Amino acid sequence: MTGEIGLFALILAFGVALFQGTVPLIGAARGDANLMAVSDISSVVLCGLVTIAIVMLGHGYVTSDFSLLNVWQNSHTLKPLIYKISGVWGNHEGSLVLWVLILAIYGAALAVFGRQVPPALRARALAIQGLIAAGFLAFSIFTSNPFARLIPIPAEGMGLNPILQDPGLAFHPPCLYMGYVGLSVAFSFAIAGLLGKEIDSTWAKLARPWVLLAWCFLTAGIALGSWWAYYELGWGGWWFWDPVENASFIPWLIATALLHSLRVAEKRDTLKAWTLLLCITGFSLSLLGTFLVRSGAITSVHTFASDPARGLFILAFLAAVTGGAFALFAVRAPRIRAEGLFEPVSREGALLLNNVFFGAAAATVLLGTLYPIFMEVAGSPPVSVGPPYYNAVFLPIAIPAIVLAAMGPAIPWKRADLPGVLHRMRFAAVCAVGAAVLTGVLQRDPVPMALAGYGLAAFLAAGTVRQWLARLRPARSPRRLLRRVRNLPASAHGMTLAHLGVAVLVVGVTASSTARVDVEQVMHPGEALSLAGHTIEFAGVEDVDGPNYTALQGRFLVTGPGGSATTLLPERRAYLASGTATTEAAILETFVGDIYVVLGDPVADGGWGTRLTFNPLIWWIWGGAFLSVLGGAVSIAERTRPRMYAAGAQPASVQPA
């Protein structure tokens, strides 16, 4: 019965979403407050109905109700409870319900916490959210029903993909979806502003916290996925330019550009048309990523479905949403006037140039992701676009973007002189040169990437800290200094943390890319070798049993430089339900890096293939990412008091139609 309750809740939610997507638009066009108020109520009801649906689906997983086709295909009675719960979104149908739930949560949050947003703008934005939800609910109900019944009822399920049975995968998809779907709020604000001709600095101020929230979740979701790939997939890398990795990274690049563009629109009342374009493009790329994951157009461990009919539905939805949005933008954008003028050498100019770099980076990654698909459609032999392409085209774009990130806060608004800017960056330049020289001294044969990477990180960190200190101004006592720190806007602290996070991440990427050591060899019990100052002895292999798998477990004794001893236990698992084999690495985390051990195949003479890796400063990558997330969270916490539109007032930044 729970399956029928869940399906009925989805059907009701579809009706509510259609209602939410039409009535408030009519009310906003007529200036009818009662009709506009419908958007607030319906968005909360929609959230409640989709919550009921996903709870019913979760009940089926927890109780192993194999009368539900979705549960039978993705669960098993021996699976631990946490993976039964995460199995709800570890498949196409369930993840789609989670997508709609997060979309509904954002809508309800805007209705409840967005009271400072003018009623007409909020009603239009929530209506757009409702139309998007209606599209995905139709997709779920008519092509991807998670509550389809299975008769006769099997006694046992097929189990979840063993690679997905990991704590990281319990949190990575919801976090990533919070970012993906969160960009829909920026999209809805953009369409609502275009419909009501309400694009000015206040609009940007109202939209920015929602974009920040989505950006924080998207950053954390990507970092969690990278961390999971590092310790779970057994190859020791943190990024592989997989097409589905790219599908989340491309919207992140656009969202980062959008954050900076919104700041310009808020502070200087300019770049408004460009900001609108980024709002539309960011969510459109999220929809494109959804299409790639669910259409079968690409093959990856991340993909959920390979049904062309489902892919065609999303492709049509993508065309309707993005096509309609860009058409509206083409009609209304020429009427948007930029009130704030600026010189090329100014903070506005630097942020715009940085936006260009982010857009170019997104375009290069998108091209590399879609190129194999284009070639296949054209009838050419299959091609693969891998790390060599991305390293060649992405890094030359990323480096100047990071340099501008360091320099931008030191450049005044509206107009600046280049010699003065360079003078203010002299301390950062000295730090960059010092870091490069120190790298050359400490490393016997430093590669150019190491010199450039550490120098770039030092330049960004020093420039960021210098600008933060400059805003505090000299203080005669620690008490006055503390008061000035407290009085700085939260956005200033947030930007500082976010940019420092990027600097930390650059250090981690540079170290792991230039100083990593790999040793692959056959080892026999009792043999030992030295790696990064550690002695690693192979003690042998034994059989162990897990909750739903059997495993061959290797035993490696690791002795550190100071004599400390640790035992690492890598495994080769075979899952009982599917017979699928996986490799589980064992990792020793140290201050300077990770000792990463993988157990390979047995050989005829009693030895075992092994791969031992030293990954220097690898945790700086994820530490930097989450430091940036912390910076975004601090910026969100800033209390803003935007001015409200006067009743019936027309923002001066848009000419009447």
Is 195 in contact with 125 (CB distance < 8 Å)?
no
- State how far the Cα of 288 lies from the Cα of 247, in Å rounded to an integer: 8
Over the chain, what is the mean pLDDT? 88
Kindly tell me if the per-residue pLDDT of 283 is higher than 90. yes
- State how far the Cα of 422 lies from the Cα of 414, in Å rounded to an integer: 17
- State how far the Cα of 524 lies from the Cα of 53, in Å rounded to an integer: 54
Angle at CA of residue 422, ends 418 and 427, nearest 5°: 165
Kindly tell me if the per-residue pLDDT of 291 is higher than 90. no
pLDDT at 645: 37
Cα 314 to its chain centre, rounded Å, is 21
> Picking from 151-165, 210-224, 502-516, which range would have the lowest pLDDT averaged per residue?
151-165
Confidence band of 476 (pLDDT split at 50, 70, 90)? low
Percent of the chain with pLDDT over 90: 59
Residue 115 structure tokens: 């009271």
- What distances in angstroms separate CA 90 from CA 85, 159, 291, 580, one per listed residue? 9, 11, 17, 17
List pLDDT tens digits, range 385-441: 888 999 899 999 999 999 999 998 889 988 888 888 888 899 999 999 999 999 988
List pLDDT tens digits, range 555-569: 999 998 888 899 999
List pLDDT tens digits, range 442-453: 887 778 899 999
Confidence band of 652 (pLDDT split at 50, 70, 90)? very low
pLDDT at 307: 60
- State how far the Cα of 488 lies from the Cα of 493, in Å rounded to an integer: 7
Confidence band of 324 (pLDDT split at 50, 70, 90)? very high
Kindly tell me if the per-residue pLDDT of 10 is higher than 80. yes
- State how far the Cα of 493 lies from the Cα of 62, in Å rounded to an integer: 43
- State how far the Cα of 304 lies from the Cα of 96, in Å rounded to an integer: 10
Q: Report the 10 Å Cβ neighbour count for 535.
A: 14
- What distances in angstroms separate CA 517 from CA 5, 249, 596, one per listed residue? 55, 27, 10
Provide long-range contacts, Cβ within 8 A and 24+ apart, for 588-591: 588/534, 588/558, 589/619, 590/560
What's the mean pLDDT in 160-184? 84
> Picking from 23-27, 127-131, 641-645, which range would have the lowest pLDDT averaged per residue?
641-645
Confidence band of 606 (pLDDT split at 50, 70, 90)? confident
Kindly tell me if the per-residue pLDDT of 170 is higher than 70. yes
List pLDDT tens digits, range 613-624: 999 999 999 999
Confidence band of 296 (pLDDT split at 50, 70, 90)? low
- State how far the Cα of 462 lies from the Cα of 426, in Å rounded to an integer: 10
Residue 245 structure tokens: 């990795």
- What distances in angstroms separate CA 248 from CA 164, 187, 252, 440, one per listed residue? 18, 17, 7, 36
pLDDT at 531: 93
Confidence band of 609 (pLDDT split at 50, 70, 90)? very high
What's the mean pLDDT in 66-86? 89
- What distances in angstroms separate CA 11 from CA 108, 147, 478, 632, one per listed residue? 19, 12, 62, 37
User: Nearest to residue 102, comparing CAs of 169, 47, 21?
Assistant: 47
List pLDDT tens digits, range 93-106: 999 999 999 999 99
pLDDT at 644: 37
Confidence band of 244 (pLDDT split at 50, 70, 90)? confident
pLDDT at 74: 87
Find the length of the chain.
657
pLDDT at 172: 86
Backbone angles phi, psi at 77, to 5 degrees: -65, -25
**Structural domains of the chain, ranges and CATH numbers in brackets:** 1-163 (1.20.120), 166-412 (no CATH), 413-513 (no CATH), 517-616 (no CATH)
Backbone angles phi, psi at 278, to 5 degrees: -65, -40
Place of tokens 């954390």: 220
Residue 475 structure tokens: 């203080």
Is 578 in contact with 158 (CB distance < 8 Å)?
yes
Task: Name the amino acid, one letter, at 509.
Answer: V
Confidence band of 655 (pLDDT split at 50, 70, 90)? very low
